[in-house]
Structure 1
Amino acid sequence: MSTTRPVVSVVVAAYNGEAHVGETIAAILGQTRAPDEVVVVDDGSTDGTPDVLASFGDAIQVFHQHNSGAAGAYAQAYARARGDWVARCDADDVWLPEKLELQLEALAVRPETDVVVTGATVFGRGAERPFSALPPADGLDDPLLFARHVYRANPICSSTALIRASLLKDLPEPTPRLPCEDYELWLHLLRAGARFHWDPEALVRYRQHSSNVTNNRVAMERSALAMHRAFADLPQDRALVRRTCARDLATIGRLLADDGDDAQARAAFAGSLRARPTAFALAWALLLSLPRGLRRRAVGAALALVRGERGRAEAAT
């Protein structure tokens, strides 16, 4: 491979994506700076995804495997990619035409960069909105500061990432079938010392739909908690680790309470209180100790009190 011009491999993991993968691939092939290869791993699709991929002919390389989840599909794609740089794209997202060109321009200015990530726009369900809300790019030049932002919660749209390929070869094996496999990747890269460049310009459209993995909130929150425990060394801030894990557990508890799983919800709130006591977790732990009927009345009374206080404050103004 030539060293005078960056060689870019685009990798796509596809599973039952016939509704959207054609638009995704067309946007990749339509870049103002064309990729040098497009590697697609069909992760055991049972719908028409293989036919859609076949329609692109020799413009893309397609590899089929038994279903192993996104982590396994991307690991296969990384192993097949031959470029100096690897650009990820999920099979339902859409790149803007100048995405690759602008990222490579950023690399030319900052050759020490290992990973370029950008903003993204969420679309498909409800009003369009930004994917995440990281501070301005000039506030994240410090690698430790960036690591702390990423540790708190995953702010990166995976389809924006352009990664130095050599780093991917030395990372530990991904956790099988982890719902937040991309988050684990960023944390592994940060632990390995990778330097990120964050461009807030939205260069990717992130599609939300009923089949998104992120729709399973409890599984996602539990996976995030597992990552925050596994990478507790990364932010070099014990207080931040405690706050983050306590927040994760409180969120899990709230979701489980909504699902009617009182026993697991109580356990989650108890864990949150052990990590870092908060009024929110304590209130929910106490509520969950009440019989359901009494709990509903207590919640109703609390909401009525809040509405009353809000109404009096508005009247006073």
Structure 2
Amino acid sequence: MAASHPLVSVIIPTYNYGHVVCEAVESVLHQTYTNLEVIVVDDGSQDDTRQRVEKYRDRIRYVYQPNKGLSAARNTGIKEAKGDYIAILDSDDIWLPTKIEEQMKVFAQYPEVGLISCSGIEVDENGKVLDKVPRKGFSSKKELMENLISRNVISGGSNAIFKKECISKVGLFDEDLNSAEDWDMWLRIANHYDVKVIDHPLVKMRVSQNSMSSAGNAGKMLANEIKVINKYFSGNGNLLSRSKSMKRKALSYRYSCAAWAYMVSRNNTMALKHILMSFFYSPLSIFTKRQAGLMARIFLKSVLGFMGQRQSYGVEGKNK
């Protein structure tokens, strides 16, 4: 059993998600791949999480710790894990039944691979489908890294599964990061191991108003993303560490994402500031369809907002 179906340790970090954590646990217990251990790491929840998961006590391991953050909770689970493979499921997400089985088949076919991800589906708090999050593979490690350094093309923690040996090579999740910890870990793993991606969705990712990726967290997100980029390019053994142009492109892309988030939240001043920073790091990006369209929308909104302020203060009347 162990040789053909290795043990997979599933880590479910949670903090005050008692209202949905059971859905996550159930989605693991209904996997078609059955050689699993399930570890729920409660990161100091103040709700009824402990009581909710109590009914699974014969099928899971429950670990409680004082609140230390998502990365620390994941690391606690990894340290507790007995399996040769690690799969993380955020407690507000749900796996489709064949998720682990399909990924383990890829590991069996490609033993040199260290990490496997998959596409996903974004749903709202009621389970309504919002969007598809497609992911695809890359023809070479260089192509993967050139894309991964700018944005998380591997996707979130709930999508991936990786060999436990990767942790011995690259270390645990960075507990100094309050976001982008997935991206940081995938960069480190991909630098040393091959990566495969299953291009159809195997995860439902719940998007809530309080998620870290919301527009209101744009500044915090960007600060952590800059940390990840600087950290990667300071490593001498990294594939792209000597490429100054790739670093500038990566910073440009992250600033443009922050600009978009500020624009969505109607903070036109901050949107304009960040799109200008994006062009500062990579002036040629203005010729890309994405950047040109984003710049046009931000400038238009900024001009219209400025004109609206002039009218509200009676500036137009004074000029007549």
TM-score of Structure 1 vs Structure 2, range by shorter chain: 0.7 to 0.9
Could you tell me how far apart the structure 2 residues matched to 1:142 and 1:5 are?
29
Greater mean alpha carbon deviation, residues 215-224 or residues 58-67: 215-224
Identify if the C-alpha distance between structure 1 residues 247 and 143 changes in structure 2 by more than 3 Å, giving closer, same or farther: closer
The residue aligned with 1:311 is: none
The residue aligned with 2:22 is: 22
Is 1:187 aligned to 2:187, yes or no?
Answer: yes
The residue aligned with 1:226 is: 227
The residue aligned with 2:289 is: none
Is 1:70 aligned to 2:76, yes or no?
Answer: no
Could you tell me how far apart the structure 2 residues matched to 1:214 and 1:288 are?
22
Gaps of 5+ in 1: 299-317
Could you tell me how far apart the structure 1 residues matched to 2:302 and 2:97 are?
55
The residue aligned with 2:7 is: 7
Identify if the C-alpha distance between structure 1 residues 158 and 129 changes in structure 2 by more than 3 Å, giving closer, same or farther: same
Identify if the C-alpha distance between structure 1 residues 227 and 82 changes in structure 2 by more than 3 Å, giving closer, same or farther: same
Greater mean alpha carbon deviation, residues 2-11 or residues 270-279: 270-279
The residue aligned with 1:159 is: 158
Contact 1:218–1:255 (Cα < 8 Å) also in 2: no
Aligned-residue offset at 1:59: 0.6
* DSSP 3-state at the match of 2:213: helix
The residue aligned with 1:247 is: 253
Contact 2:14–2:21 (Cα < 8 Å) also in 1: yes
The two structures have a TM-score, normalised by structure 1, of: 0.80
Aligned-residue offset at 1:241: 2.5
Q: Which amino acid aligns with 2:199?
A: P
Could you tell me how far apart the structure 1 residues matched to 2:261 and 2:159 are?
29
Deviations 1:61-96 (A, max 9, x none): 011111111111101111110101111111011111
Contact 1:15–1:43 (Cα < 8 Å) also in 2: yes
Aligned-residue offset at 1:188: 1.6
| RMSD (Å) for aligned C-alpha atoms | 3.2
Percent pairwise identity? 22
Is 1:122 aligned to 2:122, yes or no?
Answer: yes
Q: Which amino acid aligns with 1:182?
A: D
Aligned-residue offset at 1:261: 8.7
Is 1:146 aligned to 2:152, yes or no?
Answer: no
Deviations 1:33-78 (A, max 9, x none): 1143111110011111111121211210011111111111101111
Contact 2:268–2:302 (Cα < 8 Å) also in 1: no
The residue aligned with 1:309 is: none
Contact 1:68–1:177 (Cα < 8 Å) also in 2: no
Contact 2:107–2:113 (Cα < 8 Å) also in 1: yes
Identify if the C-alpha distance between structure 1 residues 286 and 31 changes in structure 2 by more than 3 Å, giving closer, same or farther: closer
Contact 1:270–1:285 (Cα < 8 Å) also in 2: no
Identify if the C-alpha distance between structure 1 residues 35 and 160 changes in structure 2 by more than 3 Å, giving closer, same or farther: farther
Contact 2:268–2:298 (Cα < 8 Å) also in 1: no
Aligned-residue offset at 1:146: 1.4
Contact 2:31–2:100 (Cα < 8 Å) also in 1: yes
The residue aligned with 1:205 is: 204
Contact 2:87–2:160 (Cα < 8 Å) also in 1: yes
The residue aligned with 2:316 is: none
Could you tell me how far apart the structure 2 residues matched to 1:228 and 1:268 are?
17
* DSSP 3-state at the match of 1:169: helix
The residue aligned with 1:217 is: 218
The two structures have a TM-score, normalised by structure 2, of: 0.79
Greater mean alpha carbon deviation, residues 66-75 or residues 161-170: 161-170
Contact 2:90–2:158 (Cα < 8 Å) also in 1: yes
Aligned-residue offset at 1:157: 3.0
Could you tell me how far apart the structure 2 residues matched to 1:23 and 1:287 are?
44
Superposition pairs for residues 252-267 of structure 1, below 5 Å? Answer: 252-253=258-259, 255=261, 260=267, 262=269
Could you tell me how far apart the structure 2 residues matched to 1:63 and 1:267 are?
44
The residue aligned with 2:170 is: 171
Q: Which amino acid aligns with 2:131?
A: R
Q: Which amino acid aligns with 1:219?
A: K
* DSSP 3-state at the match of 1:206: strand
Deviations 1:100-146 (A, max 9, x none): 111111111111111111111111166432124x44x3xx1412211
Q: Which amino acid aligns with 1:159?
A: S
